[in-house]
Amino acid sequence: MPPSPSSGCGHAIALRDRIPKPVGGASTPTRRIPRIAPTFYPDRSAPVPQAITPVQLAASLAELWSPRVIGELNDAYVKVAKVHGTLDWHSHAHEDELFFVLQGHLRLEMEDGSVELGPGQMHVVPKGVRHRPVAEHECLLMLIEPKSTLHTGDTTTAHTRSLADQLRAL
């Protein structure tokens, strides 16, 4: 009997049932069902899923404070950025923003205090919270934020990048 849609495993069972059965009464082989990776930007036409290395992509960027989209999942973009110095104070009224430090150190200043982040550490700035990232030395970041998020939120500055600019190929 096939599983009900609410069981959450119908897809996995359907794939398992397509694995050829061994001949001669041997036991059923154990095979891992491949996970389907999200589509990565910019190459959506790749015939085989590709692994990407965010730290290498961020390091390759020439412009500071100019995030670039490297992937998407659901209604969010995954971005990388190379930063140094201070970005202007801003907030995102309707979106949370995840900062993940790939290399270097970042201080996220907020009106109620600041958070220091080192390699492998992350912080989610909740929607509506005024913040400014500060990197005293070059820092490589990965950001995850809804597709609707404006780069510098409610503020337009010399650092502000349009979504079209962030979607340019690396």
What is the reported pTM?
A: 0.71
125 bridge partner residues: 97
pLDDT reported for residue 44:
61
Provide the residue-wise pLDDT of the chain in tens; the chain has 170 residues.
Answer: 544 444 444 444 443 444 444 455 444 444 444 443 344 555 666 677 778 899 999 999 999 999 999 999 999 999 999 999 999 999 999 999 999 999 999 999 999 999 999 999 999 999 999 999 999 999 999 999 999 888 878 878 788 787 788 888 88
Domain ranges of the chain: 54-166
For residues 101 and 71, what is the distance between their CA atoms, to the nearest angstrom?
17
pLDDT reported for residue 55:
97
Architecture of the 54-166 domain = Sandwich (2.60)
| Whole-number Cα distances in Å, 7 to 3, 10, 19, 35, 164 | 6, 7, 21, 18, 40
pLDDT reported for residue 46:
67
91: buried, middle or exposed (CB in 10 Å: 19+, 13-18, 0-12)? Answer: buried
For residues 90 and 131, what is the distance between their CA atoms, to the nearest angstrom?
6
